[in-house]
Structure 1
Amino acid sequence: MNKEADSPEIRRRILGAALSAFMEAGYAQTSTLEIATRARVSKRDLYTLFGNKEAMLVACISERAQRLHVPVDLPALRDMKTLANVLTAFGTKLLTETTDPVVVAVFRLAISETVNAPKVAQTLESAARRPIREALRSVMASAVSAGLLAGEPEAMTGTFLGLLWGDLMTGLLLQTTDRPSTADIARRASEATAGLIELHTV
């Protein structure tokens, strides 16, 4: 591999080319030659950096999932207003990032390629879905400890996500629903927060 091929720019170019090719033609139908051609690198460089096609898709998902991480410096939950602000901000960020067409396409790829590329679904679970639930569960546990809410944090996490999403993701995956606007996302996050607080207020 030439010296420049290991640069962040080359890596970014390969992942961008791979994801766009997967989205256009599907995972199984996309060749490594097609990805290398789009990225303007040799197949040898491509294999040296990623090993195989599945590793490229896994890397695409892992990097995209970083945008979903919740800040660790959340304010202390001392009152209901702070809790409402934290949950609304959490819901807004989650919906904004996850309804991005590229992210929805990645979910669609993970579902369709469960047999051909099992690591893709596993990565989506470990890098995105699980950290989101764990972060939200931590918020719920803090709210219970502070005496603001009553309930089991894991169940409350599921309730909040259910209120937040409804059947939105199903519609996005089936391409029967348009991506919600910024105003719609804010409304959904606010309503999900209000619904959870109403159900679990001490």
Structure 2
Amino acid sequence: MAMHLPFAKLSQWQQTAFCCALLERMLPNYTMFSQAAEFGDPSVLRNQLDLLWQRLDSSQKIKMNIDAQLEKLEQQTPEPQAFDFFGVFPALDVCMALMSLLQALQSKDPQEFASVSRLSTNSVSYYIELMLAEEFADEVGDDLDDGQEDPTELIRQQVKQHPLMVWERATQNELFDFLKQAPENKNTCKQAKAMVLEEGLSNLGIEI
């Protein structure tokens, strides 16, 4: 389900804006987990994302100690084995995506920026798989008895066609195409953020 967008064709500014916009769609997943699990402080991640947006505004001279921010983020990152409910996984994806973006600003590696795209897509994919797995359990058993299609392939096809996955891919493609042509300024940041938050939902369909 991974996206294969040509990030190397974007400037570092454009890549950063793309990742920040995706993180806007992911951050509510961390907030919901944090409230339910009484773990972490969503304001730390919110502040870091705000700082990254501010760095894209040439009118502001923002200095950012990335190593210090990575250390703060590590303290907010949950260990999946410490929690017994699904919410920890999208929350972990948010932390990993923000970590990838911070590291990308140090390394200038397009693959680090691409990791944010992959983590957002994987969050959606895994969420859909969990929803479908139980729903298909009985049907899959019957199909296998009749010598029908492999259950893994059935679920893979359903994930690809699910409205949340269709929306995720469409959002990333639309955002990429917009930023590729847009000027590198504050107004573009506002437009990118508005574009991804237009529906008022996180990438998992959680109301913001």
Report the TM-score when normalising by structure 2.
0.34
Q: Which has the higher contact order (CA 8 A, sep 6+)?
A: 2
Whose Rg is larger?
1
